[in-house]
Structure 1
Amino acid sequence: MDFQKIKEKRTEWTMKWQVVYFLLFCCLCKAITAQLHYSIAEEEKKGYLVGNIAKDLGLNIQDLAKRKFRISSVTAEHFFNVNLDNGNLYVAARIDRESICEITPICSLSLEAVVENPLHVFHVEVEIQDINDNSPFFSKNTISLEILEVTPPGTHYILGNAMDPDVGMNSLQTYKISENEYFKLNMKTSGDGRKFPELILERPLDREKQSNLEIILTASDGGNPVKTGRAVIKIIVTDFNDNSPMFSKELYQVSLTEGAPVNTLVIHMNATDEDEGVNGHVTFSFSHISKIAEQTFSIDSQTGEIRTREEFDFEVTKAYVMNVEAADGGGLVSHAKVIIQIVDANDNAPDITLTSVSNSIPENSVPGTVVALINIRDVDSGENANVYCHITDSLPFELTSSSSNYYKLLMTSSLDREAMQEYNITIKATDRGSPPLSTTKTIRLLIQDVNDNPPVFDQTKYVVYIPENNPSGSSLFQVQASDPDLNENAKIIFSIVNKNGDDFPVSAYVSINSMTGVLYAQRPFDYEQMREFNVQVMAKDNGSPPLNSTATVKICITDINDNSPKILYPSTGVDDSTVFEIVPQSSNKGDLVAKVVAVDADSGHNAWLSYQFLQPSEPSYFSIGRHTGEIRTLRVFQEKETTKHKVIVLVKDNGTPPRSSTINLNLVVADNFQQDIPKMKNKYQNSDQTNLDIYLVIALALISFLFTLTVMFAFISKCRKSAPSTQYLGHTKTLQLDPNGTLQYFEVSMDIDSGTLNIMRSLNFPQLKDLVNKSEDTLPGGYRWKETLQPDVLSTFRADLPFVICL
């Protein structure tokens, strides 16, 4: 209880002291406060003199600094400053009345001027006077209005008011609009004094004539000079659906080339509607159209573009007719007719049809033969269907027009299957479109063979070299023949067509394989009997009728070394007795005492003979000519020397291997042939007895040699007997080189009485087989040759024996 009383007592004292303090403060304020008023226009420049504040406050200018004179203000201190030297108050910064006071009619700034010693505070009020530094302005530069075109006249449209931060006469005063034929302006004032513009519609609008208007609204203040502000009134006349869509024309005709690609633009349909918005939005569609046209064309509902939706063909449809409907958003419609003419394009190449055709014809068909009947057509029209055709290559054929669109393919010249077995006839048909199109067709024509060509040998004459002694049945040669025909017409059969004469039966020597043309030997050939012969071979085909040709085969038999030399002189007789030759005692060195004459039935090098001593006498008294066989003395004989000399002469040919013959000669040196020869014989026989052992050995060798010769001669004799040719009776042959190195053959005869050798005729090498057993006294051309021999030598010759010698 006491505590509560103490607390209430303290509260009472606190309230009393606050009242005392407030009264004292009020007295102090009244003592130091005074009032000072200035008035300046806004927007004055910096440094503008407001007034002499020190003088107006009654202060001593000299004491201003001493008493710390200053001004202070929370909001306006930075707008002013005081010069302590003279006490003037100046404008320190730009002062904009509208930014400080906005639209307040009276605008003033409050300042406090403070001095000390003693302390005084003076209240200074500076009034800011308005100037016309702001133009009226609208909150929006553009005012948009939408007015329905059927709005009745007299309708009011209130617009937004303009703003002007100035006050008084400098603020907004009036509005006006630019001239127009539809609207007028009225101004209204609100209860707070604001002025609003108002548009009034004076006459009806027509959007189709003028869909929008622009009117300039101008706001003016009352300053001097007058300032204005502007805004644009954009009036949009909204549409009412009072117009139907309209096409530019009722009928549209368009041409379109066939083959145009899909989605090709055919025509752009254009329909206009003077309305706008939904009422003026036009859509397009087909109203009356055939099913095929609907499948071929499409229309864009928004743009009105008619395009192809698939390829079309002039040959199928030449024109399309359709109706197009244009509708606006308000349900009004209009129609137009569209006719699309299809223009033919050269899109079809000519078509070639073989109505009748032969796949093959004989090669002997005559010119003018019909090979094929051809039909050519083009489904295009006009020049695009005008077609011309020809054969592309140079061939023995031609095309001739038979009737409309029909052509005949004819032969123009003879055919030869061997030159061309088949023809690929390419026919090209081209139209006259732009660009032209063409088609080609190839006819493969085979040429049938007829037997119009005989077999042909690769050579008309053959030369065949066959070594003699060939085995029977051996292949000699194969002839070759060809026939360019076909099949049976080209099948060749060979045969020998020589007629077997009495002199030479060809079939006995040669046969031929009828299928291969290989010639075979029927028997061995003997060069010494027959040097050559001709075989006539015929090649015949199997055509109807058959054709044939012949060729000659010349068979030349070449020599082999199958004959040993034959010694003609001196003759050993039938018993091969020893030959004695008398050598005159008075012979000088180099005298001819004897001559060995030999022949060889072979020819060429095989018959080229050489002579030599196989067993000359000791000491040697004689020499023999290697190529002549002449035996000559090497020295002069003495009386006491040996009178009998035995020599063995070897005659050898030049074959491979060489063959040879020998003869034993006893050369007796004596002056009287009739007296000495019997003694010689007896002495020779005695000498033979004493040398029996030697002769036995020689006999064995000779028997072996003779056995070989006998077998050969028997074989040769058998061949000669089987040959039908003339035997060379009584002829002997040899082969020698003459001094100029050539081979010459002579047929000679010996005259015993005169001691001469008579050349009967000169023989060429191939004529040795033609020697016959008859004599001629002179050579051809009048030539004659004689050689005189020793009488004792000539006595050994047989007078009736002609022989051949070569020098």
Structure 2
Amino acid sequence: MSFQDIKERRTEWPLKWQVGYFLLFSWLCRAITAQLHYSISEEEKKGYLVGNIAKDLGLSIQDLALRKFRISSVTAEHFFNVNLENGNLYVADRIDRESVCEMTPICSLSLEAVVENPLNIFHVEIEIKDINDNSPTFSKDTMNLEITELTHPGTRFILGDALDPDDGMNSLQAYDISKNEYFKLNVKTSSDGRMIPELVLERPLDREKQSALQIILTALDGGIPARTGISMIKIIISDINDNSPLFSQELYQVSLTESAPVNTLVIQMNATDADEGVNGHITYYLSRISKAAQQKFTIDTETGEIRTKGTLDFETTKAYEMIVEAQDGGGLFSNAKVVIQIVDANDNAPEIILTSVSNSIPENSVPGTVIALINIRDIDSGENGNVYCQITDLLPFEITSSSSNYFRLLTTRNLDREEMHGYNITIKATDRGSPSLSTTKTIKLVLLDVNDNPPVFGQASYVVYIPENNPSGSSVFQVQASDPDLDDNAKITYSIMNTNTDNFPVSSYISINSMTGILYAQRPFDYEQLREFGIQVMAKDNGSPPLNSTTTVTICITDLNDNSPKILYPSTSADDSAQFEIVPRTSNKGELVAKVVAVDADSGHNAWLSYEFLQVSESMSFTIGRHTGEIRTLRVFPEKETLKQRLVVLVKDNGSPPRSATINLNLVVADNFQHDIPQMNNQFQNSDSQSNLDIYLVIALALVSFLFTLTVMLAIISKCRKSAHSQTFGSSATGLYSEAGPKFPSNFHNATLTLPYPYDVCVALDSAEKEFAFIRPVQGVPTENLIDTDDSGIGHKSLNDSSSDMSDQQAQPNADWRVSQAQRPGPSGAQPTEESGVWPNNQFETERLQAMILASANEAAEGSAIGGGTGTMGLSARYGPQFTLQHLPDYRQNIYIPGTTSTLTNAAGKGKSAAPSGGNKKKSGKKDKK
């Protein structure tokens, strides 16, 4: 109902109210007679005066309290109260007509006024008049309507009506709607008088153009001012399924790396549908998909998100295809194709495959030998599958590319097992991805031994010193060789190569243990026979072919002092009797009158000889050179004196312990040996007795009481010894010198001695007897006659007289008489006559001395100008005797020459035959004839 309608109705109300008032007044008049009636408006304030009920009921105000005036009502007693002092009826509480009377058009409240004395009850009715205190209200603030877009125009849609509890004109009078292009308002009155609003569709709806409308429905009452109530009408235009879902494109292409984790969003499908509701609700499905893709991907039916549900592998599948279908609630659908390209990730390390491999090769393999053929595979693609190969360590190997993904492992140089027994070759394959992946594999290569190393000795040569007289079978030395090869190639056997060199039987002296290399002596060594010898030891391995090497072992025999000195001159007789030497009475002090020559088969210090007298007395007229053995005079002898002294010469070496030899000498001072023999014997006995008495006196003084008996016995023994010496001297004198002729020269101007000095001459006897015989020249016989005479001379005659064992032929004497002092062995001419008392200080000097003696012996053996006859040592005539080499041991390699610092080391003329002496004898004969 519009506001215009409301105004028209308001003009009709005064006429109606006039009729109503009339009827009401008539009814009131009748009510007054029966009851009291009041009228008040609702919502009056508390204390509002309704009326003076006591006056209106005709009651005295003073009697109200006495008569206990009160009002009572079941429903409305609490709304009113009476003041008994003045009889007024007041409003006690707010009165809401709509609450008290609800929807009753006429609202009145009934009260009963009660008085006592006498008891009387009055009925009082109070009418509650309506005021416009309530606005029309709808049951819903918002009314929702759903209208399909196919609804025809003219269609009515009933709306909810409004309610106004007021009465009359204050109640609901009209409805109104907001302006819109699709609907209008229509109000109809129901049979119960209610006003019901309706929406009428004036034109067709299009949900796709406008899916919803909002219209405000207003309800108005007739009060002044009018009150209104509103409700929002929400019209939803419901869709019909007249549109299919649509994708933005028919083909979707997506790239996805293979390393994407599970539940990775691949793509979100989005299809649109113009419909709404069920018709516009789209669900997504994978309509056509392979089993492989179905295991890898899933789609959310509501959101259309395609996600991974399994791990991807580019090497297995490089792309996936599927059809995605979008379907709305009405059954309409459309589809699109999705292609997922898998992008390769470097997730596969290279794989090293040894196609062919040799775990061992000989160490003599040439450079370039193939050890292994390697196949490198990487199932990734592009740079991720591009692989290069290398050796991690610095080794004598290299990797070369053979073909696609194939490599060869080669040697780069010669290998040596002795340097390195084997190699662990680590091969690393790396791809060119980012980040790069790599794989390593180790090949264990063993080098097989080849017999390429000969045994090697620690030294190229060895020098071994062995003392002589070693026991047989003793260990001498051990040679050791090493071979760095293995097994049989390193098994070494030892052998001696030169078993017989220069007719020297090495095998009889030395043997070797073939397994240990220990050298054993087969026999004792003798330094005097063998100084040193060398052997060659060969070490041979057991390889194929065997290799060997040699070393030289020089075995030097060191000397021990196992030989006593050998006195060569003067020669002792078989009964060890004393030798006689004639000393001219005219000899000066310090003149050389005799010489003891001795040699020692030992060498070095063991061959250093010293000479001394065993018995030295104050009357000693001679002295001996400690190192030369030369016996010289200590004084000048008187002209008439005939002297005989017996000397015991001790020759001692310098070994430890020292060895020694002695010889007895009788030195006779006389001019005529035969004439002075009696005097010499007496003097000799007197001197001996005097010497012995001196000794006895000294002993007697010391042991006069304790050794008296011993002294008597020694005196008796001494007497016996003196008688024995006298007999020996007499026989020698008579036997040896009875025929000394006048050929001895009175002066020797070319000789060593300044005075006539007779020397014994030593000649060789029969070789079977192997001894020497000495003849002494006869006084008065010239020396040149003795030397130059042939078999008919005096020398031969003297030889026959002195001994029947001598040879018939005598060798020529040595010509040393005519050699200068510097050319003779022994002390040189420049050497002083006094003894220095100092031994040579090294072996070299000792050997030099011995060499000088040997040189004289060689001259004699070779028949030189200085030497004598065949087979003699050719000692200088200064020393007297001549003797054959065949009857003496060869001391030429270790002879010490007294007075010098040399030792003989070799014989220059060894093995050569001496010059025959026959020529010399012939020359002597010629001289005699002349």
The two structures have a TM-score, normalised by structure 2, of 0.55
CA contact (8 A) 1:40 1:126 kept: yes
Q: How far apart in 2 are the matches of 1:72 and 1:767?
A: 181
Within 5 Å, give how 1:4-23 maps onto structure 2. none
CA contact (8 A) 1:531 1:557 kept: yes
Letter paired with 2:897:
S
Letter paired with 1:761:
P
CA contact (8 A) 2:615 2:648 kept: no
Q: Deviations over 1:439-498 (max 9, x none)?
A: 444444433433333334467788989999876556666554432223333222233457
CA contact (8 A) 1:582 1:667 kept: no
Is the aligned partner of 1:156 residue 2:156?
A: yes
CA contact (8 A) 1:283 1:302 kept: yes
Q: How far apart in 1 are the matches of 2:96 and 2:650?
A: 174
SS of the residue corresponding to residue 206 of structure 2 reads: coil
Q: How far apart in 1 are the matches of 2:180 and 2:845?
A: 148
Q: Which residue is 2:898 aligned to?
A: 776
Q: Which residue is 1:131 aligned to?
A: 131
SS of the residue corresponding to residue 54 of structure 1 reads: helix
Q: Which residue is 2:230 aligned to?
A: 230
Q: How far apart in 2 are the matches of 1:764 and 1:472?
A: 29
Q: How far apart in 1 are the matches of 2:353 and 2:220?
A: 97
Q: How far apart in 2 are the matches of 1:764 and 1:370?
A: 68
Q: How far apart in 2 are the matches of 1:175 and 1:521?
A: 154
The farther-off stretch of 319-328 and 98-107 is 319-328
Q: Which residue is 1:418 aligned to?
A: 418
Is the aligned partner of 1:220 residue 2:220?
A: yes
Within 5 Å, give how 1:575-654 maps onto structure 2. 643=696
Q: Which residue is 1:86 aligned to?
A: 86
Q: How far apart in 2 are the matches of 1:604 and 1:175?
A: 167
CA contact (8 A) 2:846 2:902 kept: no
SS of the residue corresponding to residue 840 of structure 2 reads: strand
CA shift in 2, pair 1:106/1:598, >3 Å:
farther
Letter paired with 1:174:
A
Q: Which residue is 1:761 aligned to?
A: 840
1:310 shift after superposition:
5.8
Letter paired with 1:643:
Y
Q: Which residue is 2:446 aligned to?
A: 446
1:201 shift after superposition:
1.9
Q: Deviations over 1:63-91 (max 9, x none)?
A: 43344333333322222223333333332
Q: How far apart in 1 are the matches of 2:657 and 2:503?
A: 26
Q: Which residue is 1:180 aligned to?
A: 180
CA shift in 2, pair 1:158/1:582, >3 Å:
same
CA contact (8 A) 1:398 1:409 kept: yes
SS of the residue corresponding to residue 384 of structure 2 reads: helix
Within 5 Å, give how 1:716-727 maps onto structure 2. none
Larger radius of gyration: 2
1:393 shift after superposition:
2.0
Q: How far apart in 2 are the matches of 1:507 and 1:399?
A: 59
Letter paired with 1:336:
A
SS of the residue corresponding to residue 761 of structure 1 reads: coil
Q: How far apart in 1 are the matches of 2:437 and 2:193?
A: 93
Letter paired with 2:899:
D
Mind listing any 5+ residue stretches in structure 2 that lack a counterpart?
A: 1-32, 565-572, 577-613, 620-646, 659-691, 701-712, 727-825, 828-832, 851-893, 904-930
Q: Deviations over 1:597-626 (max 9, x none)?
A: 998998599xxxxxxxxxxxxxxxxxxxxx
Q: How far apart in 2 are the matches of 1:282 and 1:469?
A: 126
Q: How far apart in 1 are the matches of 2:651 and 2:134?
A: 169
CA contact (8 A) 2:135 2:227 kept: yes
Give the % identical residues: 71
Letter paired with 1:253:
Q
CA contact (8 A) 1:169 1:222 kept: yes
SS of the residue corresponding to residue 488 of structure 2 reads: helix
The farther-off stretch of 519-528 and 449-458 is 519-528
SS of the residue corresponding to residue 325 of structure 2 reads: strand
Is the aligned partner of 1:146 residue 2:268?
A: no
CA contact (8 A) 1:182 1:204 kept: yes
SS of the residue corresponding to residue 55 of structure 1 reads: helix
Is the aligned partner of 1:168 residue 2:168?
A: yes
Q: How far apart in 1 are the matches of 2:410 and 2:715?
A: 101
Q: How far apart in 2 are the matches of 1:575 and 1:186?
A: 194
Q: Deviations over 1:707-735 (max 9, x none)?
A: xxxxxxxxxxxxxxxxxxxxxxxxxxxxx
SS of the residue corresponding to residue 197 of structure 2 reads: strand
Mind listing any 5+ residue stretches in structure 1 that lack a counterpart?
A: 1-32, 565-572, 585-593, 606-638, 648-664, 679-746, 749-753, 782-807
Instruction: Tell me the number of residue pairs that the alignment of Structure 1 and Structure 2 aligns.
Output: 612
SS of the residue corresponding to residue 78 of structure 2 reads: helix
CA shift in 2, pair 1:265/1:474, >3 Å:
farther
1:242 shift after superposition:
1.4
The two structures have a TM-score, normalised by structure 1, of 0.62
Q: Which residue is 1:516 aligned to?
A: 516
1:387 shift after superposition:
3.0
Q: How far apart in 2 are the matches of 1:667 and 1:203?
A: 195
Q: Once superposed, what is the RMSD of the aligned Cα atoms?
A: 5.2
Q: How far apart in 2 are the matches of 1:580 and 1:604?
A: 22
1:351 shift after superposition:
4.8
Letter paired with 2:221:
D
SS of the residue corresponding to residue 454 of structure 2 reads: coil
CA shift in 2, pair 1:558/1:139, >3 Å:
farther
1:777 shift after superposition:
0.6
Q: Deviations over 1:508-527 (max 9, x none)?
A: 55543222334445457899
SS of the residue corresponding to residue 98 of structure 1 reads: helix
- In terms of fraction of residues, the more strand-rich structure is 1
Is the aligned partner of 1:193 residue 2:193?
A: yes
Q: Which residue is 1:437 aligned to?
A: 437
Within 5 Å, give how 1:25-424 maps onto structure 2. 35-258=35-258, 260=260, 265-286=265-286, 299=299, 301-307=301-307, 314=314, 318-354=318-354, 357-376=357-376, 378-401=378-401, 404-424=404-424
1:282 shift after superposition:
3.4
Q: Which residue is 2:830 aligned to?
A: none
CA shift in 2, pair 1:391/1:37, >3 Å:
same
CA shift in 2, pair 1:236/1:409, >3 Å:
same
CA shift in 2, pair 1:111/1:300, >3 Å:
closer
CA shift in 2, pair 1:320/1:501, >3 Å:
closer
1:102 shift after superposition:
1.4
CA shift in 2, pair 1:601/1:775, >3 Å:
closer
Q: Deviations over 1:292-346 (max 9, x none)?
A: 6667655555554445566665556544444443333433332323333343443
Q: Deviations over 1:336-371 (max 9, x none)?
A: 233333434434444545565554444344444454
CA shift in 2, pair 1:250/1:340, >3 Å:
same
Q: Deviations over 1:96-148 (max 9, x none)?
A: 22222212222222233333344443333332222233232222333233323
SS of the residue corresponding to residue 71 of structure 2 reads: strand
CA contact (8 A) 1:282 1:328 kept: yes
Q: Which residue is 2:666 aligned to?
A: none
CA contact (8 A) 2:846 2:900 kept: no
CA contact (8 A) 2:254 2:341 kept: yes
CA contact (8 A) 2:370 2:408 kept: yes
Q: Deviations over 1:166-221 (max 9, x none)?
A: 22222222222333332222222222222222222222223333333333323232
Q: Deviations over 1:419-455 (max 9, x none)?
A: 2222333333333233333344444443343333333
Letter paired with 2:437:
L
CA shift in 2, pair 1:436/1:121, >3 Å:
same
The farther-off stretch of 481-490 and 442-451 is 442-451
Q: How far apart in 1 are the matches of 2:85 and 2:510?
A: 171
Q: How far apart in 2 are the matches of 1:604 and 1:236?
A: 149
